[in-house]
Chain A
Amino acid sequence: MDAPVTQERIRLHPKELLLWLYLGATAMLFAGFTSAYLVQRFSEYWKTFDIPVVFWVNTVILVGSSFTLWWAQRGYRRGDPWQLQVGLMATMVMGVVFLLGQFLGWQLLVRQGLFLAGNHKGASYFYVLSGLHGLHLIAGLIVIGYWTYKALRYQVGSESWLGLRLAGIFWHGLDLLWLYLVVFLQINQLF
């Protein structure tokens, strides 16, 4: 018991592990919401509705923004500031377009007569879930905006790899979360 044991340490950077744990907590939050959804989905008051196509367009845009972010990070690794700047700006723009698209989608829902308040649970959940995702995405946009600003001012150096990597994980996590939500909501409108 006495010889010093050298251990294999976990190879993640502590801050990356922190971020993964945070994403785990976020997943549990939305797991809570969607399981509540499933509990109520089978009540007699449940009504289905058509999810406007714009939400799917938004989904494509958000998935696209993950690709531009990946492309930007690739530019960073290759040492190409231009690719980093353009990629980050594209991600930023697509994130903003996604949020505007969500607003448009909510407008279309309102035009269908579907509101947050009232007894239409499907609609209420839709607003709650997409709204909370939107709030998280605003946090993500602040992070991407920070790195875009730094990249445009050529302040991204070799020490930035961790921050950029974490920003990427966070953004992809939000992307994945939206994919889960939109597929979940769509499936539940089918039957």
Chain B
Amino acid sequence: MATHQATAVGTVPHTEVHHEHHHESFWTKYIFSQDHKTIAKQFLLTGFTAGFIGILLSGIFRLQLAFPDVSFPFLETLLGKWAPEGRLDPNFYMALVTMHGTILVFWLLTGGLSGTFANLLIPLQLGARDMASPFINMLSFHFFFWGTVVLFASFFVETGPAGAGWTVYPPLSALPQAMPGSGLGMILWIIALVLFVVGVLMGGLNYITTVLNMRTQGMSPFRMPLAVWSLFTVAVLGLLSFPPAVAAFILLLFDHSLGTSFYLSDIYIAGQALPQQGGNVLLYLHLFWFLGHPEVYIVLLPALGITSELISTHARKPIFGYKVMVYSILGIAFVSFIVWAHHMFVSGMNPLLGSIFTATTLLVAIPSAMKIFNYIFTLWKGRVQLNTPMLFGIGTVSFFISGGLTGFFLGVAPMDIPLHNTYFVVGHFHLVMGVSAVFAMFGGTYHWFPRLWGRMMNERLGYIHFWLTFVGANLVFFPMYYMGFGGVPRRYYAFTEFSFTNKWADLNVFITIAALITIFGQLIFIYNFFHSMFYGRPAPRNPWKATTLEWSAPVKHLHGNWPGKLPVVHRWAYDYSKPGSPVDFIPQYISDEDIARGVRWWEEDFDPSTVIDREEPSGGEKRVSAPEPVITPLPSPHQKPEAPSSS
């Protein structure tokens, strides 16, 4: 619908480069911006803010797990009635766990990660002036933002935020009388998620269209950087998997508030039988995990795509097995749709089905292992520069290995049954998709910060941040495997009640201390981020000597990205250390003629537009601007519309 309005209103055709006389107010420049680079910044800041609040919540419930009998008066100051006398309320504990999961999985690692890097990289790395529809792109952020507002608003309602876990399984989530966290907080959770999904889908539609339709001349699919490949694939995944989840949430909302019984049957609360009959909880599980599993890759694939850029650029070597990387992205995406029931091995489904899903789950290992090998072989004999982005890139790969290997245990039904809902699962998914994707997001931020804000981030603080987070995350999540094997269940309020869990009390204290140090270690990043934004060293145009197109645009952001023509692409994205080349990188817009002409693209003061604007016009520009309607002044009443030539 918005498509039509966007069309009808008509945007300035992007081919005409007259950026200087744009008069932008504060509102159109920073709030309702239609510039993909500003929208990327908006996603980054919103995602990181939400994410930081999300990990602070985990700090509060970790405190409870480590010291269930200790009173912390500051909690009462902070949380009021949710921590009477400094002791966390059990219902609020559930709400914290739920909100932590929701914020981190959806807001930081889906909206924040894809939203930031897809918006920044897709147009810039493909040589496009902007997204296919900048207007829908703006709406995408605003839906995301208002989803965030609604989600956080649920902290301030009488009954508190949703409390049924981030997967919000019914019947707990569908019965307002079941617990405080199933009241208004649950409704707000569903509304927030629906707004979020609408935002993500609007973004995704744009990403797909831009990749398919707006690549610059010479940017054939197999010359695209892997970051773009993965962000494109993720947009397709989202398009196919989010709508069924919305269906699940809508049915849940009907059950919750309108008296239907899609998921509810045979329930007694306090001895009272509820009237709902004939519903099916398994239905919700299937609908949810049909999103839920691809969601893991919606988080992970952009992380791996970013990591490919980081590792190749900072190892000064072409990515090893580029096409294998592309096919493994597509392979992972395909397989992710036929594995969802491995989250449901204990739900009482048919054992035959269980073994089928075990087999498909193990298939994921093949493309994943191919990616790991390719990362390692890219590093092998590279000129590895251990700067902050590279460290975070390697960190991503390391967590992908240490978390991914434990996926074998959980993917096999007979092993999963004893481990289901234990801390083993918590350790597994935090390492393989949580920390690994967060590391890629950090790495990407350090790497593309000069592209976003035109300044460099501080390297030394980056090192400290990396080592603190890397060691901290391992200390937090590795012991959880151990506890999981011991049978410690997740989502429990206190472990001191049971003798078999009580023996892990010391380990819980250890994990909590490690977690708190790691959480507060992120303040280093926050300081570095904001300090560098204003006072960082001004960045040169291509600080990392990278080959991809985003570094050929001027440091100062232009609406339309390139001041003159669009770059024409002459080579793939990874011409690092090419034999015979004078330096160890050849940007994509440099042709062999340019090299023969003696263009010195590696020099600090080299201006890429001298090469880009010199290019003979051969249709590259036309490609980007497929006919964009321009509203003409009102025609006279009886003027007949002309027949359009194209139809």
Contact = CB atoms under 8 A, between A and B. Distances in A.
Given A18-B206, A116-B259, A43 B591 contact: no
B619 A6 contact: yes
B641 A157 contact: yes
A140 B250 CA distance: 21
Nearest to A124: B260
B333 to A, nearest CB: 15
B214 interface: yes
Interface residues of A, number: 71
Contacts of A160: 8, 629, 641
B275 A155 contact: no
A110 B572 CA distance: 64
Contacts of A6: 217-218, 618-619
A119 B277 contact: yes
Given A25-B239, A160-B629, 6 more contacts: A22-B205, A26-B243, A28-B244, A79-B640, A81-B640, A161-B644
Contact of A18 (B3, B215, B262, B592): B3
Given A19-B3, A25-B239, A161-B647, A116 B260 contact: yes
29 contacts: A2-B591, A2-B592, A4-B569, A6-B217, A6-B218, A9-B213, A21-B204, A21-B205, A25-B243, A32-B246, A32-B287, A36-B247, A36-B283, A77-B647, A116-B259, A118-B259, A119-B276, A121-B261, A121-B279, A124-B262, A128-B250, A132-B250, A142-B1, A157-B642, A159-B630, A160-B8, A163-B7, A166-B4, A170-B1
A179 to B, nearest CB: 19
Interface string A65-92: 0000000000011111100100000000
A61 interface: no
B248 interface: yes
B627 A2 contact: no
B623 interface: yes
Contacts of A157: 632, 635, 639, 641-642
Given A157-B641, A160-B641, A15 B277 contact: no
Contacts of B643: 77-79
Tell me the dominant secondary structure on chain A's binding face: helix
Contacts, number: 216
Contact of A36 (B5, B251, B635, B637): B251
Contacts of A17: 132, 208-209, 212-213
Interface in B320-346: none
B637 to A, nearest CB: 5
Given A32-B247, A40-B262, A78-B643, A14 B280 contact: no
Given A121-B261, A156-B641, A162-B7, A32 B209 contact: no
Nearest to B639: A154
A4 B567 CA distance: 11
A143 interface: yes
A116 B258 contact: yes
Contacts of A78: 643
Interface in B567-626: 568-572, 591-592, 618-619, 623, 626
B461 interface: no
Interface in B25-52: none
B7, B241, B245, B639: residue with the most chain A Cβ atoms closer than 10 Å: B7
Given A2-B570, A32-B243, A39 B630 contact: no
Interface in B200-233: 201, 204-206, 208-210, 212-215, 217-218, 220
Contacts of A190: none
A57 to B, nearest CB: 27
Interface string B244-285: 111110110010001111100000000000011111101100
Contact of A15 (B133, B276, B642): B133
B417 interface: no
Contacts of B186: none
Contacts of B635: 154-155, 157
B304 interface: no
Contact of A4 (B3, B133, B591, B637): B591
Nearest to B569: A4
Contacts of A142: 1
A187 interface: no
B639 A10 contact: no
A3 B591 CA distance: 8
B280 A32 contact: no
Contact of A14 (B214, B251, B571, B642): B214
Nearest to A165: B647
Contact of B631 (A30, A76, A121, A159): A159
A21 to B, nearest CB: 5
B150 interface: no
A43 B206 CA distance: 41
Given A2-B592, A13-B627, A18-B136, A143 B1 contact: yes
A83 B618 CA distance: 41
A100 interface: no
B261 A118 contact: yes
A191 interface: no
Contacts of B627: 13, 162
Contacts of A33: 247, 251
A81 B641 contact: yes
A176 interface: no
Given A143-B1, A163-B8, A170-B1, A4 B218 contact: yes
A24 interface: yes
B278 A119 contact: yes
A117 B248 contact: no
A43 B232 CA distance: 40
A18 B8 contact: no
B626 A14 contact: yes
Nearest to B206: A18
Contacts of B4: 143, 146, 163, 166-167, 170
Contacts of A132: 250
Nearest to A9: B623
B209 A79 contact: no
